[in-house]
């Protein structure tokens, strides 16, 4: 018998009525002959509430107890979903992370999955269970403590179960009906994609698209798990949503698959940096130790024995980056004359596997931005993406212009 993994996000299980609606979708798959593993998030808003309670109780909290508290939201949803399925006369049981057990590292709040033994759950399926409802986002460390996987971790849980149980597919139910060429709130021309390659989805997710958590896409690509993103609020359609799959499963596509953006970016420039071997390590080592997520990096040409180093990071990490650089300078590991931070920038990116075999994408992108009077501050590229930093006030205009330039409203 084939096995299907279905994941329901917080908005999809926000109320008892929505849980019943989700359970009907599960029941339909059972009727189609599937065994089903359902991964559930906490009810919408519940995790934020739990995080708030922890902060009010203990500003400098023990991370182990933080995980014990914030993981409880998923436990509630899992139990309610199992009860709902039982009321529908579908043999179902809820499973918390430690009961599987979903084994993880001990990095509380950001644990990574190390193993999912399948024997216990397979035994229950063999005994007649049709649906296993698993609390997402959580696992158990080698020390026997509850751990959490970080925000969006239920997506990662779902893909990991699909890989471990060799599922035919992993369906991610959310509040959007698929993956779009860009944010429909920015341009009405945004088009839902029927299929998108793993690499494209990974780039879009890492560049700001909120549909799937980046780690879940990485895991799906590594284990070749087919992902389908679809809405839990639309009527049933077996061809609904967007399928995230291997590149060779897509017959033909546009050169550019989508335009992504990240609004809350900052650009930091270190002026007057000594131009010598090891200076980059002297800068980015302390930044990494301070937990600063550096993205785009540009080093200007040096003529007088000094150079300028520019990098981008999330705007809420600017103070942390500044402190790390000042401490490194005081320690004598690096030298610079001034640190300049621009906190009014945004990152806009075009992504597409077609870039590998088509020339001129960068030229079209830059000409489009020039025609709109948008100045580019920083550029980075990879095999299938081009990203630029621009003034934040032009972000939506840039997204609209690029979407039009590459005619993304048209299917490939």
Q: What is the full DSSP assignment across 218-275?
A: HHHHHHT--EEEEESSSPP-TT-SEEEE-GGG-----S--EEEEEEEEEEEEEEEEE-
- 155 backbone dihedrals φ, ψ, rounded to 5°: -60, -45
Within the chain, all domains assigned CATH 3.40.1160.10 are found at 3-175
Report the DSSP beta bridge partners of residue 260.
Answer: 349
Under CATH, what is the fold of the domain 3-175? Carbamate kinase (3.40.1160)
Decide if 263 contacts 247 (C-beta within 8 A).
Answer: no
Q: Residue 262's closest CA among 330, 186, 314, 201?
A: 314
| Residues 6+ positions from 310 with CB-CB distance below 8 Å | 267, 268, 269, 270, 296, 297, 298, 299, 300, 378
- Which one-letter DSSP state was computed for residue 393? G
Report the DSSP beta bridge partners of residue 390.
Answer: 346
C-alpha to C-alpha distance for 388 and 398, rounded to whole angstroms: 10
Within the chain, all domains assigned CATH 3.30.2130.10 are found at 259-405
| Residues 6+ positions from 170 with CB-CB distance below 8 Å | 5, 6, 7, 158, 159, 161, 162, 220, 225, 226, 227, 228
Coil, helix or strand for 109?
coil
- Binding-site residue set: 7-10, 47, 74, 174-175, 180, 185, 210-211
**24-33 CB contacts, 8 Å cutoff, 24+ apart:** 24/88, 25/173, 25/232, 25/236, 26/85, 26/90, 26/131, 27/85, 27/88, 27/90, 28/236, 29/4, 30/90, 30/130, 30/131, 33/1, 33/2
Q: How many alpha carbons fall within 13 Å on the CB side of residue 326? A: 8
- Binding-site residue set for ATP: 7-10, 174-175, 180, 185, 210-211
C-alpha to C-alpha distance for 50 and 56, rounded to whole angstroms: 10
Place of tokens 């990991």: 160
- Binding-site residue set for substrate: 47, 74
Report the pLDDT value the prediction gives residue 354, as an integer from 0 to 100.
87
Report, in this order, helix, strand and coil percent for the chain, each rounded to 5. 40, 25, 35
Chain-centre distance of CA 412, in angstroms?
26
- Which one-letter DSSP state was computed for residue 113? E
pTM: 0.84
Query: Mean pLDDT of successive 10-residue segments in the chain (412 residues)?
Result: 94 96 96 97 95 92 95 98 98 97 95 96 97 97 96 93 97 90 92 91 79 88 94 82 87 84 94 88 94 90 81 94 94 91 96 88 96 95 93 97 94 72
| Residues 6+ positions from 401 with CB-CB distance below 8 Å | 368, 369, 371, 372, 374
Q: What is the CATH code for 259-405?
A: 3.30.2130.10
């Amino acid at each position: 018998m084939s096995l299907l993994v279905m994941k329901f996000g917080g908005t999809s299980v926000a109320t008892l009525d929505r849980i019943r609606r989700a359970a009907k979708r599960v029941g339909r798959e059972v009727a189609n002959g599937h065994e089903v593993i359902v991964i559930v998030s906490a009810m919408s808003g519940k995790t934020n509430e739990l995080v708030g309670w922890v902060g009010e109780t203990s500003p400098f909290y023990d991370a182990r107890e933080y995980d014990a508290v914030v993981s409880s939201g998923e436990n509630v949803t899992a139990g309610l979903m199992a009860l709902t399925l039982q009321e529908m006369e579908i043999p179902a049981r809820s499973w918390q992370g430690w009961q599987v057990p979903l084994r993880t590292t001990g990095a509380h709040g950001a644990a990574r999955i190390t193993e999912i033994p399948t024997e216990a759950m397979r035994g229950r399926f063999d005994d007649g269970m049709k649906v296993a409802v698993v609390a997402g986002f959580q696992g158990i460390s080698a020390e026997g403590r509850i751990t959490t996987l970080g925000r969006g971790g239920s997506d990662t849980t779902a893909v990991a179960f699909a890989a471990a149980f060799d599922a035919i597919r992993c369906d991610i139910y959310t509040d959007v009906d698929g993956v779009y060429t860009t944010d429909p709130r920015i341009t009405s021309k945004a088009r839902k994609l029927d299929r998108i390659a793993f690499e494209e989805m990974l780039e879009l997710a890492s560049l700001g698209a909120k549909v799937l958590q980046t780690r879940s896409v990485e895991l799906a690509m590594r284990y070749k798990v087919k992902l389908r993103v679809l809405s839990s609020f639309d009527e049933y359609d077996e061809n609904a949503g967007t399928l995230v799959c291997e590149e060779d499963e897509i017959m033909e596509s546009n050169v550019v698959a989508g335009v992504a953006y990240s609004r809350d970016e900052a650009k930091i420039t270190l002026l007057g940096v000594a131009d010598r071997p090891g200076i980059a390590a002297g800068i980015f080592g302390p930044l990494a130790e301070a937990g600063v997520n550096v993205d785009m990096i540009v080093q200007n040409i040096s003529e007088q024995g000094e150079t300028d180093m520019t990098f981008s990071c999330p705007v809420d990490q600017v103070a942390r980056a500044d402190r790390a650089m000042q401490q490194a300078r005081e320690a004598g590991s690096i030298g610079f004359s001034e640190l300049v931070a621009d906190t009014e920038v945004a990152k806009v990116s075009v992504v597409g596997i077609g870039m590998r075999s088509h020339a001129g994408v960068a030229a079209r992108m830059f000409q489009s931005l020039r025609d709109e009077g948008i100045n580019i501050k920083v550029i980075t590229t990879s095999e299938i993406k081009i990203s630029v930093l621009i003034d934040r006030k032009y972000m939506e205009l840039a997204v609209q212009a690029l979407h039009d330039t590459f005619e993304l409203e048209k299917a490939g």
